[in-house]
């Protein structure tokens, strides 16, 4: 058996580098908590708002600003849920199908986390401004127990990204603003998972993969302003990621022992999705502003993960285009206090028969409340709380260890995501200078 076949032992093992954050919040493995102000109204109307807090969604937001503007925020993400075995089978060569064994219920496999973000914008004149946002749109840590029923798909996974988006915004006229930005994204990831030996009485082997890389995309947008209504349209490009790192396989015995290895320079390519965003804000009264936002996520671009030499394989993922819809309100209780609320509906890009324990994603509702306090003419403080409710969903993707070899070992996955939710608490500040 070729030793390089072991790197395919869990089918999409490399996928875990990027694929498990979605149970925390937002859409698939994208985290949208880039602003405390936005979180309070469930991320409605961000493409149509102004100032540095909206740069991530639409760089036109800083066109024509009168003062320097900075924002910083941090979100505490507290996910909960169960990944439950409903009868998963393993088929070792020459043996009948048997239960995969292990603990049949894994509770809260995704660790709690803190997601920071910030942005700053400075006007060059009364029409042109430069800005930059620093965010972490794909970041998470998962930790399945070593005896979990899902151990052949996921064990320990860690992903960190840093996205730096330098931007320019221009007020072309009093009613038209345009903007563009470059997305410079660093990704660092590691994962591990169990590998089945050929006899059920033997302990599992282990596979660990680490990688990192720098990649680039772009964002562009426009805003149309009237006295009471603002429309914002923007587009964030898909980003082709290339991670390069190390693969270690250990603990395999018998005929598989020759596949224990330590390889360097393994390369994986995949896409994160584009976003087509339409947002609107309407000042219904001097105190009440209505917000709405729709996003089309181009997850269909994430059709496969392509592994380079010496593995040379394509791992199909078959994601589909998905959407989020949000509506919310801002209400100025007084010159110093603004209250917010909103609701967001997001559909999952994962599909039944294609969903596995590494990516137990499902459709979700996001309910947000929040507010701002103007501590001074220049400083505002923001607080927000979100509750995200996930639908139960099947985990039913069939994979095979050692695919294409005499040792091929199918894993007939039959599980379910149950009782999943997340609480997200966000605090931030905005400063004019």
Residue 37, SS3 per DSSP = helix
Which has more confidence, 305 or 31?
31
Tell me which DSSP letter residue 392 carries.
-
State residue 140's pLDDT score: 77
Kindly state the average pLDDT of the residues 163-167. Answer: 98
Which residues neighbour 199 within 8 Å (Cβ) at sequence distance 6 or greater?
92, 254
Q: Other CB atoms closer than 10 Å to residue 201's CB: what's the count? A: 5
Residue 20 has pLDDT above 70, yes or no: no
The secondary structure of residue 24, as a DSSP letter, is T
Nearest C-alpha neighbor of 36 from the set 52, 59, 58, 20: 52
Residue predicted with more confidence, 315 or 95: 95
The pLDDT value recorded for residue 379 is 98
pLDDT at position 8, please? 40
Cis peptide before 310 (omega within 30 of 0): yes
pLDDT at 26: 59
From CA 406, how far away is CA 425, in angstroms rounded?
51
What is the torsional sign of CA 17, 304, 215, 179? negative
pLDDT digits (tens, 9 = 90+) for 384-399: 999 999 999 999 988 8
Question: What pLDDT does residue 16 have?
Answer: 33
- Asked if residue 209 has pLDDT above 90, the reply is no
Query: Angle at Cα 36 formed by Cα 233 and Cα 272, nearest 5°?
Result: 55
Whether 5 has a pLDDT exceeding 70, the answer reads: no
The Cα 19–Cα 28 span in angstroms is 8
Structural contact between residues 25 and 31, judged by C-beta atoms closer than 8 angstroms: yes
Q: Are 343 and 322 in contact (CB under 8 A)?
A: no
Q: What's the pLDDT at 315?
A: 77
For the chain, the maximum distance between any two Cα atoms, rounded to a whole number of angstroms, is: 76
Closest to 361 measured CA to CA, from 84, 31, 20, 106? 20
Q: Output the pLDDT for position 325.
A: 98
Q: Give per-residue burial for 127-159: e unless 16+ CB within 10 Å, then b.
A: bebebbbbbbbbbbbbbbeeebbbbbbbbbbbb
Check whether 30 has a pLDDT greater than 60: yes
Residue 71 sits at the vertex; the CA angle it makes with 65 and 72, to the nearest 5 degrees, is 170
Q: What is the spatial distance between Cα 34 and Cα 195, in angstroms, rounded to a whole number?
A: 37
User: Is the pLDDT confidence value at 159 over 60?
Assistant: yes
Cα 198 to Cα 405: distance, rounded to the nearest angstrom: 13
Apex CA 322: angle with CA 138 and CA 308, to 5°?
55
Would you say domain 3-432 falls under CATH 3.40.50.2000? Answer: no
Residue 2 reports pLDDT greater than 70? no
- Segment 160-173 mean pLDDT: 96
Strand partners, 231: 224, 280
Confidence of residue 284 (pLDDT cuts 50, 70, 90): very high
Position 214 confidence tier, pLDDT thresholds 50, 70, 90: very high
Q: Of 140 and 171, which is predicted with more confidence?
A: 171
Q: Taken in order 331, 333, 334, 338, is the CA torsion positive or negative? A: negative
Mean pLDDT (the chain, rounded): 90
Show the DSSP H helices in 193-245 as ranges: none
| 95-99, 105-109, 316-320, 372-376: range with lowest mean pLDDT | 316-320
pLDDT tens string 338-365: 999 999 999 999 999 988 887 788 999 9
Give the C-alpha distances (Å, rounded to integers) separating 102 from 301, 303, 425: 35, 31, 34
Region 146-161 average pLDDT: 88
Angle at 183 between CA 341 and CA 162, to 5 degrees: 75
Residue 359 CB partners (closer than 8 Å, separation 6+): 15, 19, 20, 22, 28, 29, 350
Using pLDDT thresholds of 50, 70 and 90, give the confidence band for residue 13: very low
Tally Cβ neighbours within 10 Å of residue 214. Answer: 11
Kindly state the average pLDDT of the residues 167-191. 95
Q: Where are the domains of the chain?
A: 3-432
Distance spanning both ends of the chain, measured CA to CA: 65
CA distances from 217 to 163, 203, 426 (A): 10, 44, 27
**How far is it, in rounded angstroms, from Cα 264 to Cα 247?**
6
How many CB atoms are closer than 10 A to CB 78?
A: 17
Q: Is residue 21 classed exposed, middle or buried when 0-12, 13-18 and 19+ CB atoms within 10 A define those classes?
A: buried
pLDDT for residue 9: 38
Closest CA to 16 of 347, 245, 343: 245
């Amino acid at each position: 058996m070729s030793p390089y076949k072991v790197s395919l032992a869990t089918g999409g093992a490399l996928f875990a580098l990027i694929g498990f954050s979605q149970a925390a919040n937002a859409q698939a493995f994208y985290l949208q908590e880039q602003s405390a102000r936005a979180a309070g109204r469930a991320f409605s109307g961000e493409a149509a708002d102004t100032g540095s807090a909206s740069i991530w969604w639409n760089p036109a937001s800083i066109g024509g600003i009168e003062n320097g503007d900075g924002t910083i925020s941090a979100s505490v993400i507290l996910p909960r849920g169960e990944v439950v075995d409903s009868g998963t089978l393993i088929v070792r060569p020459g043996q009948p199908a048997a239960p995969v064994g292990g603990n049949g219920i894994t509770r809260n496999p995704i660790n709690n986390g803190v997601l920071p973000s910030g942005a700053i914008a400075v006007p060059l004149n009364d029409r042109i401004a430069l800005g930059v946002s620093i965010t972490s749109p794909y970041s998470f840590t998962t930790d399945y127990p070593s005896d979990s029923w899902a151990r052949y798909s996921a064990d320990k996974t860690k992903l960190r990204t840093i996205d730096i988006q330098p931007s320019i915004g221009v007020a072309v006229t009093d009613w038209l603003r345009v903007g563009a930005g470059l997305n410079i994204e660093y990704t660092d990831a590691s994962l591990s998972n169990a590998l089945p030996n050929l006899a059920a009485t033997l302990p599992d082997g282990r596979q660990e993969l680490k990688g990192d890389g720098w990649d680039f995309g772009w964002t562009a947008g426009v805003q149309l302003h009237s006295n009471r209504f603002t429309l914002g349209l923007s587009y964030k490009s898909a980003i082709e990621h290339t991670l390069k790192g190390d693969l270690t396989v250990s603990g395999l015995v018998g005929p598989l022992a020759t596949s224990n290895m330590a390889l360097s320079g393994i390369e994986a390519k995949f896409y994160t999705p584009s976003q087509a965003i339409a947002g609107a804000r309407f000042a219904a009264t001097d105190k009440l502003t209505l917000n709405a936002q729709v996003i089309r996520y181009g997850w269909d671009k994430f059709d496969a993960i392509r592994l380079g030499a010496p593995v040379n394989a394509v791992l199909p993922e078959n994601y589909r285009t998905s959407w989020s819809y949000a509506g919310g309100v801002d209400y100025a209780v007084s010159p110093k206090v603004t209250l917010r609320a909103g609701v967001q509906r997001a559909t999952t890009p994962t599909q039944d028969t294609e969903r596995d324990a590494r990516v137990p994603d499902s459709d979700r509702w996001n309910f947000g409340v929040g507010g701002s306090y103007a501590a001074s003419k220049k400083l505002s403080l923001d607080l927000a709380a979100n509750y995200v409710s996930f639908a139960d969903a099947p985990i039913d993707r069939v994979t095979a260890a050692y695919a294409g070899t005499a040792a091929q070992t199918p894993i007939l996955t039959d599980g379910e995501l149950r009782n999943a939710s997340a609480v997200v608490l966000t605090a931030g500040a905005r400063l004019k200078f």
